[in-house]
């Protein structure tokens, strides 16, 4: 171990960046940290020792980053998010510390296979899907770009449930991700903060004689911070992700314990710890549960307190808070932070209301991630007032002043004023969190151009009319480190050989590949990479799920949460129709493009229809897969428990990316970007970021189909009758009839009746209306795929034109348009 010494700063331990240095550190961790010797060490022992060793190598940069930040007090971004879907950490840490080669060699010398250790890591699934994964991509980019930032969230003891299939039906198991140890976190129980709940508000005379109000909570919990390193690529900063874990303020009641009532003695503890116990598995349809509001307030109250009391230097003038921080609200989940900051400034710091509001208004920005009305959180006043009585008062006052302001601008339009009220009156009096966020934020952004436009024109149109400059767009992005460099090493090497490795931090450089689309030798190698990726996922699916697929088929992949609006049923109807035509001899098997239809999807446990659709996909899959005539021609692969880890091997193997949501429903999508960057072509609707993908890659390299958003609106206005499509479209009718006949349920017609009748009678997301257009687009896919060289050319162009979808670019857009922060390299 070496010591770095500067004149005045205390020394920092460093590690020797050599195979020998690494090996020494690793053995030290194994022996002294895990307490085992190499011959007796389990895989988990070795994984834990390895993880700790690797994190040591990042420590110097982390400490330097923190030191530098304490010195400079540069403006930071606090990314407030109820979800961070991180994925496995080891590979990313190896990449960030530039240890990959050293570690592989060092371990091999000890007779250890790095890949076996990598497999031992359980991914932290602290998110549901797109929104949580986006947060993880953003903090990666911020660190890589040297932007001072801190992620704040919840350390759920149980992350997104483990999905299993029992007879084709989804069965959820708790995600006990901490069971074997969690080597990436740094708990700081000494820095715990107290958060109140419930109770009442009282009036009192302050020392200055002024009558003030203050909150007397009825109960409180402790928030214990757990820090995670967020290492930037190459020499970037190592930022911090701080996740809060709830603890009881008093462990247990010794008196009650002594009297023998053990359950009662630990009741308070259990109650408190429930707050960070489990991630709510609802993706985009929140259930409005009290515990969820507790979680939301818990983490934002901890975070604001942490920032004000710990991160800021002592005596910092809070009037200058906006110079030092911007709190980015990741959807409505953290919006209760707005009244919380007001409470801190007014009640705890004794500020005047106007003064506090002026500062608060400059400290927040809000990102909306949805267009579904049911996904915009609304909290009944009754519930909010019971849990957070002072916050409710504050929200009322914010609203009163806002409405008064509106009445001045629109003196004769009380209807509009009421429409814009933060408080809804119907069906119950409730707080509209999206409106509160919009009123408080400096900027409100959507996550793709079309989405931002629809926010302005539809969801928040009154607000956009009132504050046109507040509304902006930042199209989502994905980190090229995890989703290309790490997950697709074959492609990465090929690209780097062609254009150098600058693309990893400057993804626009991928445009340098453009001319190579016309280079036959490059295309051959590109195909070779794709083929190797298909073999890799084939092995993974066989080992992980016992699923047999054929690498010589087209990989047609749809992976995302199961939701009606995403329309997994549309894809299923295409598959069933194909199957029906082949088995009845309407088309010859030889004329069918051999395809592997891959699905990955979790359904929210309470979402009955979504679970029935999962059952149906599995049922269709098992029928098709067990038909010997179709062997090697048509396969349905639906591995259970789709997660970040599986995405990393599945996406690089895809030929065709399915992005088929009903136009106007998918805010952006980010899977679509990952597929594009890994050389898949997209079949998709004009929705979310698909619009931008298609613009960049060109119409000729994108399989567009389906109604546009205005056409959808018009059709719905006119009155949509799905049964009309059933009656007039023979193929569609046959497919639906086949499902209804019990062909996939052992003759039992009742099993899938709800799915069929929902499609025929309701079909909220117009799957039947888009069926024929989808099938036609799939025919164009077949035709294009038949020309291997040309398909490869288009695939290369997808990669070459995908640079825009780096989350580094998204971060640049946030920085320039919303945050106005500046990079600060560590040790600069």
Contact with ligand C3B (CB under 6 A): which of 239, 569, 670, 778?
A: 670
Of residues 64 and 331, the one with the C-beta less far from ligand C3B: 331
Q: How far is the CB of 333 from ligand C3B (least distance, A)?
A: 8
**Binding segment for ligand C3B among 91-99, 412-420, 664-672, 765-773 (CB under 6 A)?**
664-672
Whole-number Å distance between alpha carbons of 367 and 260: 51
Q: Are 642 and 601 in contact (CB under 8 A)?
A: yes
Part of the chain binding ligand C3B (CB under 6 A), chosen from 129-137, 147-155, 173-181, 413-421 = 129-137
Nearest approach in angstroms of CB 665 to ligand C3B is 9
Residue 567 φ then ψ, to 5°: 65, 50
The correct pick among 130, 621, 652, 826 for binding ligand C3B (CB under 6 A) is 130
Nearer to ligand C3B, 162 or 370 (CB): 370
- Between the alpha carbon of residue 439 and those of residues 152, 210, 358, the distances in Å are 22, 28, 12
Using rule CB under 6 A, residue 647 touches ligand C3B:
no
Q: CA dist 295 to 133, 309, 447, 603, Å? A: 19, 21, 25, 22
Alpha carbon 583 to its chain centroid, in Å, reads 40
Q: Determine the Cα–Cα distance for residues 617 and 610; give it in Å rounded to an integer.
A: 11
Please pick, among 55, 56, 369, 456, the residue that the annotation labels catalytic: 369
Minimum CB separation of residue 510 from ligand C3B in Å reads: 21
- Listed residue (272, 7, 77, 33) closest to 819, CA to CA: 77
For residue 635, indicate whether it is catalytic. Answer: no
- Pattern 312-351, ligand C3B, x by CB under 6 A: -------------------x--------------------
Please state, in angstroms and rounded to a whole number, the distance separating the CA atoms of residues 635 and 644: 23
Number of residues that bind ligand C3B (CB under 6 A): 19
**Mask: binding to ligand C3B, 349-378, rule CB under 6 A, as x and -?**
--------------------xx----x---
Cβ contact 412:221 at 8 Å: no
Residues 274-313 that bind ligand C3B (CB under 6 A): 283-284
The answer to the question of residue 246 lying near ligand C3B (CB under 6 A) is: no
Nearer to ligand C3B, 79 or 402 (CB): 79
Question: Which one, of 18, 63, 139, 707, lies nearest residue 478 by Cα?
Answer: 139
Range in contact with ligand C3B (rule: CB under 6 A) among 5-13, 421-429, 665-673, 736-744: 665-673
Task: Count how many residues are written for the chain.
Answer: 828
670 is catalytic: yes
Residue 264 to residue 72: CA distance in whole angstroms = 50
58: which 2 tokens?
């990042």
- Active-site option among 15, 46, 75, 560: 560
Q: Are 230 and 240 in contact (CB under 8 A)?
A: yes
Nearer to ligand C3B, 301 or 604 (CB): 604
Q: Is the dihedral of CA 458, 464, 469, 470 positive or negative?
A: negative
Q: Which is nearer to ligand C3B, 76 or 284 (CB)?
A: 284
Q: Contacting ligand C3B (CB under 6 A), which of 480, 669, 722, 826? A: 669
x/- site string to ligand C3B, residues 434 to 453, per CB under 6 A? -------------x------
Give the active site residue among 52, 242, 523, 566. Answer: 566
Q: Which is nearer to ligand C3B, 669 or 679 (CB)?
A: 669
Decide if 674 is catalytic.
yes
Stretch that binds ligand C3B, among 411-419, 490-498, 660-668, 677-685 (CB under 6 A): 660-668
Q: Which two tokens stand for residue 337?
A: 């932070």
Residue 653: name the closest of 578, 592, 596 by CA: 596
> C-beta of 735: minimal distance to ligand C3B in Å?
27
Catalytic site residue from 247, 595, 674, 793: 674
Rule CB under 6 A: say whether 140 interacts with ligand C3B.
no
Region of 22-30, 248-256, 635-643, 667-675 interacting with ligand C3B (CB under 6 A): 667-675
Q: Is 369 a catalytic residue?
A: yes
Among 688, 722, 802, 826, binds ligand C3B (CB under 6 A): 688
Q: Are 555 and 635 in contact (CB under 8 A)?
A: no
Shortest separation between residue 673's beta carbon and ligand C3B, angstroms: 9
Provide, rounded to whole angstroms, the least separation between the CB of residue 438 and ligand C3B: 16
602 three-state secondary structure:
coil
Longest dimension (CA), the chain: 90
Q: Are 614 and 601 in contact (CB under 8 A)?
A: yes
Distance CA 306, CA 150 (A): 11
Contact between 131 and ligand C3B per CB under 6 A: yes
Question: Residue with CB nearest ligand C3B?
Answer: 130
Is residue 250 among the annotated active site residues?
no
Q: Which C-beta is closer to ligand C3B: that of 487 or that of 661?
A: 661
Q: Which of 479, 670, 685, 792 is catalytic?
A: 670
For residue 44, count CB atoms less than 10 angstroms from its CB and return exposed for 0-12, middle for 13-18, buried for 19 or more. Answer: middle
Query: What is the smallest separation between the CB atom of 331 and ligand C3B, expressed in angstroms?
Result: 6
Going from the C-alpha of 790 to that of each of 659, 671, 675, 693, 785, the distances in angstroms are 22, 24, 18, 19, 8
Nearer to ligand C3B, 659 or 758 (CB): 659
Q: Is 667 in the site for ligand C3B (CB under 6 A)?
A: yes
Has 561 been annotated as catalytic?
A: yes
Per CB under 6 A, the list member of 140, 340, 666, 770 interacting with ligand C3B is 666
Give the residue from 607, 710, 614, 708 showing the smallest Cα distance to 662: 708
CA 356/CA 319 separation, integer angstroms? 8
Q: Which two tokens stand for residue 790?
A: 């040309």
The residue among 128 and 162 lying less far from ligand C3B, judged by its C-beta, is 128
Half-sphere exposure of 320 (CA within 13 A, CB side): 10
Q: Which is nearer to ligand C3B, 96 or 663 (CB)?
A: 663
b/e code 337-371 from CB counts within 10 Å (16+ = b): bbbbbbbbbbbeeebeeeebbebbbbbbbbbbbbb
Per-residue tokens: 452: 């931002």
Structure tokens that stand for 15 in this block: 């590690």
The one among 53, 65, 476, 553 contacting ligand C3B by CB under 6 A: 476
DSSP designation for 559: E
φ, ψ for residue 631, nearest 5 deg: -50, 125
CB 687, min distance to ligand C3B, A: 9
Distance CA 190, CA 45 (A): 28
How far apart, in whole angstroms, are the C-alpha atoms of residue 421 and residue 398? 10
Please identify every residue annotated as catalytic: 369, 560-561, 566, 670, 674
Q: Using CB under 6 A, list all residues that contact ligand C3B.
A: 128-131, 134, 283-284, 331, 369-370, 375, 447, 476, 666-670, 688
């Amino acid at each position: 171990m070496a010591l770095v010494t500067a004149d005045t700063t205390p020394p920092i331990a460093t590690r020797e960046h050599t195979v020998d240095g690494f090996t020494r550190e690793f053995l030290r961790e194994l022996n002294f940290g895990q307490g085992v010797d190499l011959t007796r060490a389990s895989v988990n022992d070795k994984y834990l020792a390895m993880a700790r060793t690797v994190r040591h190598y990042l420590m110097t940069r982390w400490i330097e980053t923190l030191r530098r930040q304490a010195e400079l007090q540069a403006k930071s971004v606090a990314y407030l998010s109820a979800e961070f879907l991180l994925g496995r950490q080891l590979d990313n840490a190896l990449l960030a510390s530039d240890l990959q080669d050293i570690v592989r060699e060092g371990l091999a010398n000890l007779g250890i296979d790095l890949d076996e250790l990598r497999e031992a890591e359980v991914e932290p699934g602290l998110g549901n899907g797109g929104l949580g994964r986006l947060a993880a991509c953003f903090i990666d980019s911020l660190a890589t770009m040297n932007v001072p930032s801190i992620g704040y969230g919840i350390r759920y003891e149980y992350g997104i449930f483990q999905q299993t299939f029992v007879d084709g039906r989804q069965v959820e198991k708790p995600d006990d991700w901490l069971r074997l140890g969690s080597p990436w976190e740094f708990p700081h129980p000494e820095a715990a903060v107290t958060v109140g709940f419930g109770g009442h508000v009282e009036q009192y005379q302050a020392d200055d004689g002024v009558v003030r109000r203050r909150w007397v909570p009825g109960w409180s919990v402790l928030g214990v911070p757990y820090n995670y390193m967020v290492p930037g690529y190459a020499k970037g900063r190592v930022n911090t992700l701080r996740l809060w874990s709830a603890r009881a303020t008093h462990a247990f009641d010794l008196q009650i314990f002594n009297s023998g009532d053990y359950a009662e003695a630990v009741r308070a503890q259990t109650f408190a710890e429930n707050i960070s116990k489990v991630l709510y598995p609802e993706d985009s349809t929140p259930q409005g549960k009290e515990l969820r509001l507790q979680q939301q307030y818990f983490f934002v109250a901890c975070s604001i307190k942490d920032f004000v009391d710990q991160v800021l230097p002592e005596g910092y003038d809070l009037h200058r808070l906006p110079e030092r921080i911007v709190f980015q609200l990741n959807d409505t989940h953290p919006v209760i932070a707005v009244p919380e900051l007001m409470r801190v400034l007014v009640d705890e710091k004794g500020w005047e209301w106007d003064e506090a509001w002026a500062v608060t208004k400059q400290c927040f920005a809000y990102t909306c991630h949805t267009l579904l009305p049911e996904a915009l959180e609304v909290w009944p006043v009754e519930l909010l007032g019971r849990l957070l009585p002072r916050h409710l008062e504050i929200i009322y006052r914010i609203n009163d002043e806002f409405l008064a302001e509106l009445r001045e601008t629109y003196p004769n339009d009380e209807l509009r004023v009421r429409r814009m009220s933060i408080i809804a009156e119907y069906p119950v009096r409730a707080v509209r969190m999206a409106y509160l966020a919009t009123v408080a934020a400096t900027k409100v952004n959507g996550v793709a151009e079309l989405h931002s436009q629809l926010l302005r024109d539809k969801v928040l149109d009154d607000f956009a009319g009132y504050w046109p400059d507040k509304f902006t767009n930042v199209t989502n992005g994905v980190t090229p480190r995890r989703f290309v460099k790490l997950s697709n090493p074959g492609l990465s090497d090929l690209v780097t050989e062609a254009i150098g490795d600058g693309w990893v931090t400057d993804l626009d450089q991928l445009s340098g590949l453009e001319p190579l689309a016309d280079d036959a030798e490059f295309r051959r190698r590109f195909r070779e990479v794709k083929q190797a990726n298909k073999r890799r996922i084939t092995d993974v699916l066989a080992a992980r799920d016992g699923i047999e697929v054929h690498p010589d088929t087209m990989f047609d992949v749809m992976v995302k949460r199961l939701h009606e609006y995403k329309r997994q049923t549309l894809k299923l109807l295409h598959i069933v129709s194909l199957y029906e035509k082949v088995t009845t001899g309407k088309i010859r098997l030889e004329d069918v493009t051999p395809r592997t239809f891959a699905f990955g999807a979790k359904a929210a446990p309470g979402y009955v229809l979504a679970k029935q659709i999962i059952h149906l996909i599995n049922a269709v899959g098992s029928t098709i897969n067990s038909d010997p005539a179709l062997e090697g021609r048509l396969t349905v692969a639906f591995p259970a428990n789709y997660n970040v880890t599986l995405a990393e091997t599945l996406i690089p193997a895809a030929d065709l990316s399915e992005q088929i949501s009903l136009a106007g429903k998918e805010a952006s999508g980010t899977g679509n970007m990952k597929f594009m960057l890994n050389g898949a072509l997209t079949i998709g609707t004009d929705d979310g970021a698909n619009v931008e993908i298609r613009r960049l890659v060109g119409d000729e390299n994108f399989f567009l189909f389906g109604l546009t958003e205005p056409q959808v609106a018009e059709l719905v206005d006119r009155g949509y009758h799905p049964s009309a499509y059933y009656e007039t479209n023979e193929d569609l009718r046959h497919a639906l009839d086949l499902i209804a006949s019990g062909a996939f349920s052992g003759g039992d017609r009742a099993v899938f009746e709800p799915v069929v009748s929902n499609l025929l009678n309701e079909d909220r997301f117009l799957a039947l209306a888009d069926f024929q257009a989808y099938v036609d687009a799939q025919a164009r896919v077949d035709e294009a795929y038949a020309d291997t060289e040309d398909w490869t050319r288009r695939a290369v162009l997808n990669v070459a034109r995908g640079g825009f979808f780096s989350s580094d670019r998204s971060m640049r857009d946030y920085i320039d348009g919303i945050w106005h922060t500046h990079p600060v390299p560590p040790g600069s």
